[in-house]
Each structure stands twice: as structure tokens, then as C-alpha cells.
Structure 1
Amino acid sequence: MNEKTFQVLEYHKILLIWNSFARSGSAKERIENTRPTTDPRKVEQLLQETDEGVVALYKNGNIPMAPFADLRPTLKRAAIRSMLSLKELLSIRDFLKITLDVVHYYQDIQERQTLLPTLSRMFDALDPVSDLRRRIENTVLSEEEISDSASPELFRTRREIHRKNAQIREKLQSMIGLTAYQKHLQDNLITIRQDRFVLPVKQESRSSIPGIVHDQSSSGATLFIEPMAVVEMNNAIRTLRLEEDREIERILQELTEYVGEQKQILEYDYDLLVQLDVIFARSRYALELKANRPKLQEERGIHFYQARHPLIPADEVVASDIHIGGEYSILIVTGPNTGGKTVALKTTGLLCLMAQSGLFLPVKEGSSWSMFQKVYADIGDEQSIEQSLSTFSSHMSNIVRIVEEADQESLVLFDELGAGTDPVEGAALAMSILDHLYHRKVFSMVTTHYSELKQYALSTDGMENASVEFDVATLRPTYRLTIGIPGKSNAFEIAGRLGLRREIIDKAGEYLSEDTIRFEDVLHEIQENQKKARTELEKILRQKDVMERETVKLKQRQEALEDKERQAKEKATMEALQIIEDAKTLAGDIIQEMKQIKSEKTKDAFKDLESKRRALKEWEDVLSEDLGPIKRKTPSKTGRTPKPGDDVLINSMNQKAVMLSKPDKDGNVLVEAGIMKIRIPLSDLSRLEGKKDPMAGGRRTVARKAASIKSSVDVRGMTGEEAMLDVEKYLDDAVLANLKTVTIVHGKGTGVLRKTIHDLLKNHRSVESYRIGAFNEGGDGATIVTLK
């Protein structure tokens, strides 16, 4: 590899872009000095590092690699115990912080179970030297300040300095406050000159205030005098300052020695961090370029699919397939000027250099190339490819050198081979050079205008034609490279489109040989047919892509709907189970409280008991409403209509119960489910068959007992709370017995008991209506109740 090739192919611009992704100065320096390697194992290692970096960026985001200083000079000084400055110590602290952040970044990657076999060895070898970092953090506050807590001696000294300063200020402040002093002072303030506290004294009062003059104003009107009363105190502070400086020097020397002891670890960390910076810069460049990893193949050749020139903007570059190898080792590219021949030439050479530098390429997956020990390029233009896409000159002296040095491990790129001289001689010279390269097994890519080279490639083994398209209708190149077909010059068509008279063009055609005309016509027909075929293929591929995307969308939509339905079912089931669990818990708590209230037998206990009973019934209603849609596996049922006393299944609740009453006018029946009694539509019940549970007999006994209940209840002489409990229980029994009308005897008295009973009946869910008894029914002393 030679620098001339790098310059011609603009390899240095690739390095500049790669460099922009690095954070540290040393990494940037390494990138600037990077040259393609010719060791296959090294190339594979570099590509693997880039690949793992891309995976890490995808999985865990950007690596926290902040800019860091070059520590190597600092570590050399520390090794010889040359005291480090606060700035140098801070740079070491910052570097160790970055090292720790990178270690944490790798730990996050490990938690995601992402495999990075090559980079893992680097990450694992990092040592953040936490003890050194903490010591620097606890010692150094900034580039100018060291912490008071750096040592007990420093803390003591600085505390004493602060105390002495306060004493001096207090002394001088008291002097300023004296009338005898004020008339001699220029200003009533304390200032500092040469690190000593002084007072601004008028020039004419110099002898009135004894002391040491340390400075004077620019006008000479003010003298800055240290009064004799504070000279000793200032001297004491000066002594303490010296002690402070000695202690700071001791602390810094101690830190320097500690850094020197850790020199080997820090140098290793530094080298690893720079390597990681270079690698992740390559990986970020790969993502920015939307590049893929090329495969290094043993068989000699180049196979770049949909290759793009990396320096041309993505919205302008045209991708092309580039193949050299197999049946041919020399590719001859023809076509009109500014058609993209030089771009194809430079793209081929530059991608090979990038791949051998460990960089991913802007090519389609599956692209491959073989190792080249040398890459030669003779491209005549000195302009940037970003400004001009072709060249028209060549340098024979450069060609001579290349022909002499190139061998079977080389890649040679010639632009406009043989141009710049007589066309017949130039074409002959070009064919001779290509013969020489072919016999030396040199892989070559050549651009030319000569028709002789087109025919030469068609008739010579080991060579292949290629062309770049040109749209005659728009007079614009398409820049698309086509291998297997030579290019047509289109000179006559272009001249006609630009306005050259038809008779001149026709006359020019007469000077062409018949074979030349036939050859150009065949080329034109081949190119037209190929363009049509490619257009149809692109149309088919677009339709296929649309259909595949629609299929994916439909599948994703179906999966989303199924997942949503499953989640809704799971949520409903969980909510129902939670409601049942809450009901069990609440019922148990209420029953326990009711037992406790009954045992107390106080006046307020009856009221609390009634409140608990109502709360339990309200929860029954909640259960009836909320558990309606829940379906579970049901026990075996019969087709018979259930009757009072039968074991039934409440279908909507999937809950076993005992039927206690016949249907009312609305078709509802009273059932007992556990401790709850609720009204359920008869249509929601199914009679159960099979073995009866031990409690079933008890329930039917309760039903039969309820059926023999009296049609009236007498609560005279009871308190309001006692009467409410008895009436509540009596009404439940009356409903079980399917009674329609009952009488509550409460007496006339003061009317308080009657009002209490009526308040109860007013809100009772089993009561349809009530009234005061008639003359023959007990009058005001009784209430007639009609049940639902």
C-alpha cells in the first residue's frame, strides 16, 4: 500500500469521518494513523470488534465514553515521584470515573445476556482503581483548591488561620471605630496588601498611625499601613500559611507516589479505553453509514452487492453490483463521460481499503472480498469525488511503476487506460498492458472509451465488459453499473440532442465502418432490453415488498386482537376472583363482629348489629351485580325445574345454593348461598343432582321450619333495638315461608316503637308496602305488612 493510492482513493476522508465519532485525543490520533492491514487474522479480529460494538450499541445504547486527557506524560512523572499538579490529579480522577462508567455499561450488557466474546476480554480487564479515585475526590476540589479534609493537620492549620483572621479583623474594626483613628483614615475599611491586613491611611497622617507601610495608591494620597498592634498577629498567620503550604505539598507528594504505584494498572486501563474508543467509533460509523459486515473469502475475488460510494450523500448515490473474479480477473468499464465510471472505480478500491481497516461497508449483506496485499490506483483527476465524478487524464510514469510492482496479490485500478495519445496507439498499448496483467494474475478494473477494448474483452479469456448507463432522452447518466455488457458511447445521440444538424450527424455515420455500426446497434438493443427487464423486475419486487408488508401487518393485527381478547378474559377472571375473595373476607369480618356485638348486649350493640347485617346484605347485592358474567366449570345439572328446598346452581355466578321460596310475580326466588340470601331469577337457576352435601338436609329443615311460621309477631315491651332485630328476623322467616301479608304488633304507647318499626319497613328490600291496622286488625297498635 502506498500513500499515493490512499490520496487518489480519498481514504483520508474516510479516516476523518471515522475520527469524528471518537471521543479521546489518543483515539483520534490512532484513527488518523490507521492504515489497511494485510493480515487476514487481524482483519477478521477488527471486523469482529466492529460487529460486537454494533450489537452493544443496538442493545444498550451509546457507550459512556466522555473525552479524556492523555495520561501517559502524567504517569511518567508520577513514576519518578515528580509531584503532580491539582489539574493532573483531576484528569486522573475524571479518567477513572469514565472507566467506572464503562464498567457499569458492560455490566448492563451482561444483565441483558448479550454475548460479546472479543470485547468482553477488554471490558473484564478494566480496573477503575476506586480507592485512588476516592482519595483524589476527597482531596482535590478544583485546579486551585485542596479540601480541608485532606488531612487532620491541614484541617487544624486552616481552622487556626481562620481564627487568627477573625481576631485581626476584630482588632482592626475596633481601631476603625475609634474617633482618634477615623480622621486619619481615607476609608473606614479593612483591606489586604501582600497577604497582610492593612488600613488605608491618609498621606499626611502617616506619623499618626504607627505601623509598616506595604503599599500606596496610584495618586500617592493613600498609604496602606499595617498597624503595629496587628503585626505579630499577621506574622502568626504568615507562619500558619507556610505550615499549610508544607502540608499541601506533603499530601500531593503522597498522592503522586500512590499514582506512581498504580502506574501499570492506569496505563493498561488507558490503552484499553483508547482501544474501545476506536472500536465504538468504527461501530457508530457503521450505523451512520447503514453499513454491513463484509465476508473475507479465501478464493480471490470481489463481490460487492448494491455497493455505494461512502463519500457521496445517501440520497444522491446510486448502488451497483461489482464483481471481479471467477471466470475473469479483469473488468473493463465503458460508457460516456460523466457517466459514473470513475465512481465505480473508486468505490471498488475504497471499499477494499475500508474492509481491511475493520470498517463495515455500504453494501448489501452477503458481500465479500479477498485480501489484497497491495492496491494501486492511477486515476488522473486531482479533484474531489464529491465535486466531480470523472477524470480524463492518465500518467504513464505511474502506470509503468504499477505494472512493474503489481502481482497476483494486488488490485490495480486504471482510469482511462491509454488515453491522451493517438487512439489507435493508445488502444493497442492498453490491450498490451491488460495482457501483461492477466498473465501475472493481477486483479484489475479499467475504464476506457476505446471501442477496441470492448471488442477485445469480448474475445479474450479472463476479461469481462461492464458499462454505465446514460439516458439519452435527458442527457443525464444513471450511474448504474452493468456487468457483462459493454457501454455505448452515444456520441451521435448526444450531439443531436444538443442541436447539431442532422445532416452533419448522418455524414459522420458514413465514416463509420459497417461492422462498427452493427456492433453499436447491437449494444443499443441489448441496453434497451436490459433496461426494460430491470424496470419490470423492480416493479415486481416493489409489489412483492408491498404484499409482504401487508401480510406482516395482518398477522400482527390478528395476533394483537387475540392477545387483547386473552388479556381481557384473564383480567375479568382475576377481577371476579378478587371480588369473591373480598366477599369472603368481608363476610367473615362482619360475622365475627356480629358475634362480638351479641355477646356485649348493650343498648348500642343492637344498633351496631343491625348496621353489620345491612352491610352484609349490601355486599350480597354487589356480588349479584359484579359476578354475573363469570363462567366456570359447572357441576352436573338436571332439566327439572327446581323447587324450594332443592340444591341449585346459580348459573351466572357458578355458585351452589339452596332454593328457599317459590317464584314471586317477577319470577324471582330467594336462595341461600353460604351465609348470603339473595333473590335470583328462576331462569338463572339449575337444579343439581347427585350426592347431597351434609348441609343440604339442614337447609331443607330450615325451609320447612320457615314454612310453619305464624302470621304475626308481637314486640310490645321491647326497646327499639330489640324490636328491630326481632322484626328483621321475622321478616326473613316470613319470606322463607312465602307469606304475603304479616302483622307486627307494637302497641300504641308513645308511638316511638311504631316509628322505629316503620323506619325499618320503609327501607326493607322484602317489603312491598305497609299500613296501620284497621279497627278489627289492632288499630294503631299494629302494622300490616305486604311482602314482595
Structure 2
Amino acid sequence: MNKTFLKLELDKILQRLEEKCVSPLGAELARALQPVRDIEEVRNRIKATSEAEQVLRRYPDIPFSNIHDIRPQVARAAVGGLLEEEELLQVAATMSGGRRVRQYLLGQDGNWPVLRETANRIGDFRDLEKAIGQAIGPDGEVMDQATPRLLALRQQIRKTQERIKERLDGYLRSAEMQKYLQDNLYTIRNDRYVLPVKQEYRHQVPGLIHDQSASGATLFIEPMALVELNNELRRLKMAEAREIEAILRHLSNLIGREKERLEITLAALGELDFTLAKGYLSLEMAAIEPRLNNEGRWRIYRGRHPLLQGKVVPVSLTLGEDFDTLVITGPNTGGKTVTLKTVGLFTLMAQCGLHLPAAEGTEVDPTAAVYADIGDEQSIEQSLSTFSAHMAQIVSILKEVTPGSLVLLDELGAGTDPTEGAALAMAILDYLTNAGARTIATTHYSELKAYAYATPRVENAAVEFDSETLQPTYNLIIGTPGESNAFVIASRLGLSPAIIERARSLLGEENQRVSRLIAGLAEDRRVSAREREQAEILRREAEMTKAELEREKEVWQQQAARQMEKVRQEARGILRQTRAEIREIMARLEKALAEENLRGQQQAVARARRQLKELEDAVEAGLNQYQPAASSQPPENLQVGDKVFLATLGQAGEVLSPPNEQGEVLVQVGILKINVKLKELRLIETEAKAGPEREGIKNGWTVKTVSNNDIRPEIDLRGLTVEEACHRVDAYLDDAVLAGLNQVRLIHGKGTGALRVALQDYLRQHPLVKGFRLGGAGEGGSGVTVVYISR
């Protein structure tokens, strides 16, 4: 990590990030994180952090656990290596943990494309998990049920051990053997069961000596009667070891064959852990997603240095807009260095894709190279003074600086003669400003206050000082230089006024004149700042009003859409009821005709006509109540007072002004006055404008609910069931009638013909169908039915 990163303490931020990771895979990425200056790469990094922060706000308990770094095991297995039981369990646990977190993230609602893409790269290895779980128990031992052969071998081992123990128990129960044994027990030496025999009785117990005690008083003898049984047990255990090795090798081979998928999965798990850690860090710091630019502009609003503990006074400043160089003066303990570090660290954190602990609207330029000379750089090895060490660092910066670089200089020019130090400081700031760099420098030289006022693109700033408490407040004030507090402090501490006045006189008239000039300029700046603040408040209020109007417009559009759907549903209901009553009337008419009663025929026909007229009137009245009748074309020659319909809002309004040069008119909609383009308006015809065709309408506006421009002359029913198709056709014919269509086409496809037959049976009974036929040449043939609508 380079020297600037260390001075700005980026390493401590990355250490906190690493601590948020829950797997070695994520922690490795956190340790390797480096700032980048490509703005698109920074945007991608910050986007991932923002998604993680959003996910963690909604789902703080993501099941990310038991993820191990199994890359060495996978690599070894891929080249034929044998994995031990514990290693296999780690592989299974990692695969299981990855599967759980993948299922969890993909199962939640939310727009998180980066996290979803990462989660999708996590593989599903349930078969491999199952194979390992059936072979190796939680204690890390291969289980008997791993293979039938292993089960049989272990059963034989247990039986052989039982036979050996029976023989040994016989020895221990023998009164004669009791005097030969050092202890009344048996033990194991070299994987063989033995008895602890006293040295002096070794010839009384025939057998093989396998060991002796440290004192030599006890010999561990395998009785000859047990030799063959111990040999058999040894052979069985060797066979067991070979079978276990075969099982482990089989599982290792399975893992080796999945090397590529496992590597992709492990990379995705590492990225996911690392990204979630950035989200956790953002929440911990109460941080926000910063705005980015590549124009050399910084706007820090209430920025808090993330490494300071306790109550932190936030910093607010801008750089690269009205000025490129900021000179901060004030007391040495006033927080000037913290301001430098905050701006620099914020830039590096953004370049790493991290959120910033600041207020919304904070903006940085991540394409800037960051240089810093902060703190005591005295080198004992080089025998350099503080001034020399600082100057060596500044020389290095000046060689590398480019337009747009961010340069942070702490106590510029300090450590040497004040006059020469101030001159050097001004010359260095001139060079950086002319080079197009963005510079923040702290100083206690009074000469730099006047320099900042007199130099274009350079601005003063001060760390506020409380003359009552004699303590800095740590508030940064842009546009005002830090005042000398020596006289104030001396006076508050009781120094004689005469001495203070004498000191003032020794300052010289020129210094006092400069101080008065600076004070006057500072007051002017404060007035301007207040005025800008008031203007900013008004601008924000205007933006809020605009946003509120936009929200109201959206609500109106939604309400209009719901109202139109309600109209359509109610119109269909009226038509369905009408058709039912028509069928009932016709049925009565047919019955009367069938009875051949002339008088009954005449009466039935008369009643049918009256009822049909009543139903027509009901339909017209039901539809007329919803919407004004509007022309289908944009209006011409609009006049003030005309009633119009706004298609985008689904609302009626009144024209307040004639069209302007942009083809817009001012329309009153409810309490809102808005400019609307002519093409979005439809002229509403009232009774006075309706003409002769409207004479039969008594009052109000009329509406054609469905325009024939809105209804296509055909409907595609392919792929639907008979029930679904009939339901769609019923609603479609309603709309077709309202749109004034005379014929329509039903596209049902050829297929087996079942859908065509069912639809034609349905059409024969439909009250709105006058007739139908199959499509002709160029119309779709037998895959289309042409329907003639009854008028």
C-alpha cells in the first residue's frame, strides 16, 4: 500500500471491512482491495455495495456461514490426491452453505441484479454433499454404512475382538495367573492385545513380548493362545484401512471432477461475502452512496471521519466549483488535519467502492489521483529536518501532479523562517492551481489569508474558535480566514490590557490594515453566504413542489386508469344482462308464434319492441355517465373555454389560453393548471356543438367508451383452452360492438380442429353474432373464423 494511502489511514478502513467478512474467501478480497480511478469500475463497485446495503436492511439475517477456503483441497483432488475425512467434511459444509445462501437470496423479492448474478454462479452439488454425508459422520469418521464391504469387515472385527477379550477375561479370572500379572487388566501394544506380566514370571506366561515398562518391572506379553486371533484382527484392520482409503479416494475423485464448477462457486462465494461485508460496513457507519463525477468536483455534506470515536463534528465543504484551492487557517488543535484526511479518505473509499459516512448529495471525483503530505515525516536515517522531509515529499508530489489531482498539504511551509515559509507556500499553491489540481492546504501563516483573497480560484476557510470557552468548535467555515486568537486568549486569561495594546501597536499599521480588510471581506462573504443559503432553500422548496405535483399527476393517471377499467367492466355487465333479457324476450316471442295466435303474435312483438327500446336506452344511459365524447383527432382552432379530454391523465379540463409557439395550451384540470401539447388533447363535444346528430340527447356529455382505433379486427386464441377462448371471445365481441366493428377474425389455428369446432358451436348461440364462415384465401383458411356482428 502506497504512502498516501497509509497517511490517510485507508488500511484501517480495509481492516474493518475484512473483519466484516465471515469467510476466508471474502477476507482475502478485502485485504487485496485497492482504489481504482476508472469511473465505470467505481460505479460498478458502489452499485454492488448499495445493493448489499439494501438487502441487509430488509433481510439482516442472511444465512452465510460454514464457508471454508477449500481451494487447496479441490486442486489436490483434481490431480488425484487423497483427501482426509475432515477435509471432505469441509468441502461438504462449504457446498451446503453456498446452496443455502443461493436459495435464500434468489428466493427474496427485490431488484438486486449484481447480487443475483453472483448468487446464480453458486453451483448446486447436492449429489456430492449426499455422497460425503452418507460416508463420513459428523465426528469425522467413515461410517459403517459407507459401503457393504466396510460394514462386513467391521462386523468381523468386532466379533474377533470379542473372542480375544473372552480369552483375556479367562486369563484375568484364573487364580493361577493372578500372581503373574502386575495389574488385573489387559492392554494394547503395537495394535495387539497383551497382558502386563511381572518380569520375574515371564517364563510362566508363554508368548511374545511386545514392550516393557519404563522401570523394566513389567513386560507386555501376547499369550501364544492369542497370536492367531491377533493376526486375524490385524488382517481385518488392514482390509478395513484399504476399504476406507478406497472410499476416500472415490469421494476425492468426485470432487476432482467438479473442479471447474467448484472454483466458480468459491469465487462467487468470496465475492458475495466481500460485497455483503461492504453493506454491513455501510450500515455500521450510517453511510450513503456518494455521487460521482469526473470533472474535479467535491461536495462534502456533513462528512464524518469514519475512524474518529465519540461525538464527531461533521465537515462540509466544496472544491472545484467556485475555487480549486482551499486554504484553511485556525488553531492547531481545531481539526484542520481531520478535514484534510476526511476529504482524502472519502475519495479513496469511493475508489474502493465503499459508501461514505456523510449526508445525501455528497459527491467526489474518483478519477483523481490523491497526494498527501500530512504529519511529521522527519527521517533519522537521512538526518533530515521536519522542513526538509516535508519539502522532499512536496517535490515528489509536484513532479507527479496532473490536472484534476487532489493534493492535501498539512501546515504548508512550516518548520522554517515564517517569511520564507509563507512565500514558498504561496508559490507552491500558485503552481498547483495553475496545474489544474484541486488543493486543500492548512497553515497558520497570516500572509496566506490575504493571498487567498487576492488570488483567483483560491478561497479561505477557517476552523471556528469559541472565544468564551477558549476552545475550537471544529466547525469549518468557508470564505472566512482564521483569526488570530492570541490577543483574545491572553485577555481572557488576565493579561494586562496595557500589554495587549502595546502588542497590537507593535504589529504595525500594515498588518492591522490587512486585518481590517480581511474582516470586512469576511463580513461581505457571510452576507453573501446567507443570501445563497436562502436561495438554496427556495430552490429546494421549488423542487419539492415540482416533485409533489409529479406525484399528484401520477396518482391522477392511476385513478383515471382504474376508472376506465371500471367503465369497461360495467359496460360489459350491461351488455351481458341485455343479451340475457333479449334471449328471454325472443323465447317468449317464439312461443307465442308457435301457438299460432295472431293476437298473441302482435302483442308479443309489440312487447319485445318496447322492451328492446328500453334496454337500448339503459345501455346508452349507462355508458354516457362515465366520460365526455371526444373526437379521435387532435383539435384544431381551439378556443379559450373549450372543454378538452387529456389522454395522458384520463381527465377532462378547460382551455385557458390559445396554443403557443411550441404547440402547447394552458389547461385547467381540477385545481391544477398545466401546459399540454395539442396532440395529447381531444375536443369534447357538448350539446351546443353536437349539431343535429345530438338533438335526441337531453343533457350532459356522451361518450363512445371504446374507439375502433383501440380494438383490433382480430384476436389470437391459439394455445388457449376451450373455456379460456370462449371467455376471451365473449369480452372481445362486447368491445367490438362498442367500437362499431361489423366483422372480426378469430385466429384459432388448424391443429386438430377441436378449438375451431367448439368456438363455432359457441358462436351459433351468441346473441351478437349474425353469422360466421371459415377464412378464405389470404385470410388464414381453416385456421381463422370470420364473424359477422349483429347490429
TM-score, structure 2 normalization: 0.63
Amino acid aligned to 1:88: E
**Residues 322 and 348 in structure 1, CA contact (< 8 A), matched pair in contact too:** no
Q: Is the partner of 1:366 in helix, strand or coil?
A: coil
Q: Distance in 2 between matches of 1:122 and 1:421?
A: 56
Deviations 1:348-388 (A, max 9, x none): 111100111011101101111123341111113369xxxxx
Amino acid aligned to 1:414: L
Of 153, 173, 178, the residue aligned with 2:169 is 173
- Which residue pairs with 2:110 in the alignment? 114
**Pairwise CA distance, 1:424:** 2.4
**Residues 106 and 116 in structure 2, CA contact (< 8 A), matched pair in contact too:** no
Q: Distance in 1 between matches of 2:85 and 2:351?
A: 43
Q: Distance in 2 between matches of 1:523 and 1:471?
A: 19
Q: Distance in 2 between matches of 1:460 and 1:221?
A: 100
Q: Identify if the C-alpha distance between structure 1 residues 8 and 393 changes in structure 2 by more than 3 Å, giving closer, same or farther.
A: farther
Q: Distance in 1 between matches of 2:326 and 2:87?
A: 58
1:212 matched to 2:208 = yes
Q: Distance in 2 between matches of 1:26 and 1:468?
A: 44
Q: Distance in 2 between matches of 1:262 and 1:501?
A: 86
Larger radius of gyration: 1
1:268 matched to 2:264 = yes
Amino acid aligned to 2:291: K
- Which residue pairs with 1:333 in the alignment? 328
1:139 matched to 2:104 = no
**Residues 296 and 368 in structure 2, CA contact (< 8 A), matched pair in contact too:** no
**Pairwise CA distance, 1:144:** 5.5
Q: Distance in 2 between matches of 1:52 and 1:446?
A: 36
Map 1:278-427; keep pairs closer than 5 Å.
278-313=274-309, 315-381=310-376, 395-427=390-422
**Pairwise CA distance, 1:407:** 0.9
Deviations 1:558-612 (A, max 9, x none): xxxxxxxxxxxxxxxxxxxxxxxxxxxxxxxxxxxxxxxxxxxxxxxxxxxxxxx
Aligned Cα RMSD in Å? Answer: 2.7
Q: Distance in 2 between matches of 1:38 and 1:455?
A: 35
**Pairwise CA distance, 1:267:** 1.0
Deviations 1:434-476 (A, max 9, x none): 2221221111111122222211221221111111101122111
Deviations 1:214-245 (A, max 9, x none): 22333333332222222111111100011001
- Which residue pairs with 1:246 in the alignment? 242
1:124 matched to 2:120 = yes
Amino acid aligned to 2:273: D
Map 1:461-480; keep pairs closer than 5 Å.
461-480=456-475
Q: Is the partner of 2:128 in helix, strand or coil?
A: helix
Amino acid aligned to 1:36: P
- Which residue pairs with 1:63 in the alignment? 62
Map 1:488-567; keep pairs closer than 5 Å.
488-521=483-516
Q: Distance in 1 between matches of 2:140 and 2:216?
A: 34
Structure 1: segments with no counterpart, 5+ residues: 384-390, 545-788
Q: Identify if the C-alpha distance between structure 1 residues 181 and 479 changes in structure 2 by more than 3 Å, giving closer, same or farther.
A: same
**Pairwise CA distance, 1:289:** 0.5
**Pairwise CA distance, 1:330:** 1.0
- Which residue pairs with 1:48 in the alignment? 47
**Residues 394 and 415 in structure 1, CA contact (< 8 A), matched pair in contact too:** no
Q: Distance in 1 between matches of 2:229 and 2:163?
A: 8
- Which residue pairs with 2:253 in the alignment? 257
Q: Distance in 2 between matches of 1:392 and 1:418?
A: 8
Q: Identify if the C-alpha distance between structure 1 residues 421 and 209 changes in structure 2 by more than 3 Å, giving closer, same or farther.
A: closer
**Residues 379 and 394 in structure 1, CA contact (< 8 A), matched pair in contact too:** no
Q: Is the partner of 1:42 in helix, strand or coil?
A: helix
- Which residue pairs with 2:451 in the alignment? 456
Amino acid aligned to 1:38: R
Q: Distance in 2 between matches of 1:162 and 1:70?
A: 38
Q: Distance in 2 between matches of 1:72 and 1:38?
A: 31
**Pairwise CA distance, 1:44:** 0.5
**Pairwise CA distance, 1:426:** 2.1
Q: Identify if the C-alpha distance between structure 1 residues 303 and 236 changes in structure 2 by more than 3 Å, giving closer, same or farther.
A: same
Q: Is the partner of 2:289 in helix, strand or coil?
A: coil
- Which residue pairs with 1:229 in the alignment? 225
Amino acid aligned to 2:213: S
Q: Identify if the C-alpha distance between structure 1 residues 530 and 428 changes in structure 2 by more than 3 Å, giving closer, same or farther.
A: closer
- Which residue pairs with 2:25 in the alignment? 26
1:195 matched to 2:191 = yes
Q: Identify if the C-alpha distance between structure 1 residues 213 and 521 changes in structure 2 by more than 3 Å, giving closer, same or farther.
A: same
Deviations 1:136-182 (A, max 9, x none): 12222367621111111111101100011111111222333333433
Q: Distance in 2 between matches of 1:276 and 1:58?
A: 16
Amino acid aligned to 2:62: I
Structure 2: segments with no counterpart, 5+ residues: 379-385, 542-791
Deviations 1:71-100 (A, max 9, x none): 222222111101112222122122112212
Q: Distance in 1 between matches of 2:281 and 2:66?
A: 18
Q: Distance in 2 between matches of 1:51 and 1:373?
A: 22
Q: Distance in 1 between matches of 2:58 and 2:235?
A: 60
**Residues 295 and 367 in structure 1, CA contact (< 8 A), matched pair in contact too:** yes
**Residues 394 and 420 in structure 1, CA contact (< 8 A), matched pair in contact too:** no
Q: Is the partner of 1:395 in helix, strand or coil?
A: helix
Q: Identify if the C-alpha distance between structure 1 residues 470 and 203 changes in structure 2 by more than 3 Å, giving closer, same or farther.
A: same
Q: Distance in 2 between matches of 1:297 and 1:476?
A: 37
Q: Distance in 2 between matches of 1:396 and 1:179?
A: 97
Q: Distance in 2 between matches of 1:373 and 1:268?
A: 34
Q: Identify if the C-alpha distance between structure 1 residues 408 and 526 changes in structure 2 by more than 3 Å, giving closer, same or farther.
A: closer
**Residues 87 and 142 in structure 1, CA contact (< 8 A), matched pair in contact too:** no
**Pairwise CA distance, 1:346:** 1.0
**Residues 150 and 251 in structure 1, CA contact (< 8 A), matched pair in contact too:** yes
**Pairwise CA distance, 1:481:** 0.6
Amino acid aligned to 1:40: I
Q: Identify if the C-alpha distance between structure 1 residues 522 and 101 changes in structure 2 by more than 3 Å, giving closer, same or farther.
A: farther
What is the percent sequence identity of the aligned residues? 44
Q: Distance in 1 between matches of 2:187 and 2:375?
A: 75
Of 460, 471, 481, the residue aligned with 2:476 is 481
Q: Distance in 1 between matches of 2:170 and 2:526?
A: 102
Q: Identify if the C-alpha distance between structure 1 residues 292 and 392 changes in structure 2 by more than 3 Å, giving closer, same or farther.
A: farther
**Residues 90 and 143 in structure 1, CA contact (< 8 A), matched pair in contact too:** no
Amino acid aligned to 1:226: E
Amino acid aligned to 2:3: K
**Pairwise CA distance, 1:312:** 0.8
**Pairwise CA distance, 1:311:** 1.0
**Residues 86 and 142 in structure 1, CA contact (< 8 A), matched pair in contact too:** no
**Residues 332 and 466 in structure 1, CA contact (< 8 A), matched pair in contact too:** yes
Q: Distance in 2 between matches of 1:488 and 1:245?
A: 85
Q: Identify if the C-alpha distance between structure 1 residues 300 and 529 changes in structure 2 by more than 3 Å, giving closer, same or farther.
A: closer
Q: Distance in 1 between matches of 2:308 and 2:79?
A: 51
TM-score, structure 1 normalization: 0.63
Amino acid aligned to 2:42: V
Moved more, 41-50 or 178-187: 178-187
Deviations 1:653-681 (A, max 9, x none): xxxxxxxxxxxxxxxxxxxxxxxxxxxxx
Q: Identify if the C-alpha distance between structure 1 residues 26 and 124 changes in structure 2 by more than 3 Å, giving closer, same or farther.
A: closer
- Which residue pairs with 2:79 in the alignment? 80
**Pairwise CA distance, 1:29:** 2.8
**Residues 350 and 366 in structure 2, CA contact (< 8 A), matched pair in contact too:** no
